[in-house]
Amino acid sequence: MTGLIAAAALLTLTGCQSHKTATVKKTSGVGSVRRTNNTDRKFGHRGGSESNTNDSNVWNSDKQDKLDDFFDEWADTMDQEYDKYDGSGQIKTAAGEEFPKDFNRVQVNGKKVSIAYEPDGRGNNEYNVVAIYNYDKDQGASHITYFFAFHDGQPIVLVDETTNGDYVQAKETANKDLINGFNAIAAGKDASMPDSDKDSNESDDDDNDEDTKLIGVFVGLLKSGDWFKDGLKDGHMYYGTDWDYKGPVDGYDYITANGDPTSYFWFKQDGDDITVKFVNPGKGQSVAEAPMKTEHYTVSRLKQDYYVNSGQKQEVNGYVKALKPVEDAN
């Protein structure tokens, strides 16, 4: 239990620190994509004079129109309203990020990459972005920003929910609907949302009190999927409830590899909102000097990313079974 003691000692020291937080609330009403009226960029608008169906570009205005329609349909199922980048100026997130300008701060899966807005999908970047959609949540710096891009000539959907820090942390979305829709459109096909029960896309208020282990698995997959899966495979991934050391995570549930404080992710559920806290050392910082970072997510969003179809549910339920109580740690 040395990991518990080390983490508790550090949290006692960091409990008085002040850190930027974001508050997340699920939006109400029907979601949609708001499009601006700029008509100067080739693919930043609808209804231009160019018809590029038969050109050699990876991306064209017809495909962009299809993506707008598909994304609008998808946003409806999420009850979220997105702004679309129109190809002029910058699109700004609630966290203060401005794209395309801040592409020079983007890391993908923690690695610095070259990424830029290239409306035809072609460029000398690792990621050539053809569309940007941003949703700012109700309060604070919380947002969801999607970059539809081409990486090595193949379509990929990146998502950014960074609220602070020197870098924009993006990763490939786990949302199968967005992945499949973009793949289809990039291949010149039509895309639409699959028929599914309403409960697959939205969480009823009565169903929000999810099992602690299930939420822990969601957090592990979200924050560090490879680390989490490796820990489960090796039999060294644990969960605990009601952290009882004084400090900023008193009363939180948690998952841990039972190492130093960086091996812990603490979380607390309040209705549809999930607060996640973790120690986040910066460059040159020791673990003892590192601040604690706070992020917010929603149960409905995590379910949409990881728990929609039967294959996902089977995989996640397997992880739930493999997650051990912290009392089993040596």
What are the tens digits of pLDDT across the range 290-307?
888 999 999 888 988 888
Ramachandran bin of 257, using left for φ above 0, alpha for ψ from -120 to 50, beta for the remaining angles: alpha
34 band by pLDDT with thresholds 50, 70 and 90: low
216 and 301 housed in the same domain = yes
185 and 48 housed in the same domain = yes
Task: HSE, CB side, 13 Å, CA atoms: give it for residue 267.
Answer: 30
- Domain range enclosing 174: 33-195
Which pLDDT score, from 0 to 100, does residue 329 have? Answer: 81
In this structure, the number of other CB atoms found within 10 A of the CB of residue 241 comes to: 14
Which helix (H) or strand (E) element contains residue 135?
strand 127-136
Cα–Cα distance, 202 to 193 (Å, whole number): 14
229 band by pLDDT with thresholds 50, 70 and 90: very high
Cα–Cα distance, 167 to 170 (Å, whole number): 9
Of the three residues 168, 195, 222, the one that is the final residue of a domain is 195
Higher-pLDDT residue of 196, 132: 132
> 27: which DSSP letter?
-
Asked if residue 317 has pLDDT above 60, the reply is yes
Q: Rounded to whole angstroms, what are the CA distances from 260 to 18, 279, 293, 294? A: 22, 10, 16, 18
Which pLDDT score, from 0 to 100, does residue 18 have? Answer: 35
Asked if residue 111 has pLDDT above 50, the reply is yes
Higher-pLDDT residue of 139, 196: 139
Query: Among candidates 215, 240, 182, which has minimal Cα distance to 307?
Result: 215
Based on the structure, what is the number of domains in the chain?
2
Average pLDDT over residues 253-272: 89
27 band by pLDDT with thresholds 50, 70 and 90: very low
128 and 244 housed in the same domain = no
The answer to whether position 241 is within a domain reads yes
Of the three residues 175, 195, 215, the one that is the final residue of a domain is 195
202 band by pLDDT with thresholds 50, 70 and 90: very low
Higher-pLDDT residue of 308, 72: 72
Of the three residues 195, 229, 258, the one that is the final residue of a domain is 195
51 and 177 housed in the same domain = yes
Task: Tell me the CATH number at 253.
Answer: 3.30.1460.60
39 and 179 housed in the same domain = yes
Task: HSE, CB side, 13 Å, CA atoms: give it for residue 24.
Answer: 25
Which pLDDT score, from 0 to 100, does residue 242 have? Answer: 83
Higher-pLDDT residue of 73, 206: 73
Q: What tokens were used for 42? A: 């080739």
The answer to whether position 28 is within a domain reads no
Average pLDDT over residues 132-144: 89
11 and 107 housed in the same domain = no
The answer to whether position 242 is within a domain reads yes
Which pLDDT score, from 0 to 100, does residue 195 have? Answer: 67
What are the tens digits of pLDDT across the range 203-226?
333 333 358 899 999 999 999 889
Which pLDDT score, from 0 to 100, does residue 55 have? Answer: 47
12 and 74 housed in the same domain = no
Asked if residue 142 has pLDDT above 80, the reply is yes
Full-prediction pTM beyond 0.75?
A: no
Asked if residue 48 has pLDDT above 80, the reply is no
39 and 116 housed in the same domain = yes
94 and 130 housed in the same domain = yes
Identify whether the C-beta of residue 312 lies closer than 8 Å to the C-beta of residue 209: no
178 and 249 housed in the same domain = no
Asked if residue 241 has pLDDT above 90, the reply is no
314 and 167 housed in the same domain = no
28 band by pLDDT with thresholds 50, 70 and 90: very low
160 and 247 housed in the same domain = no
Written as one string, the DSSP assignment of 188-223 is T----PPP--HHHH---GGG----HHHHHHHHHHHH
Sign of the four-CA dihedral 33, 37, 38, 39: positive
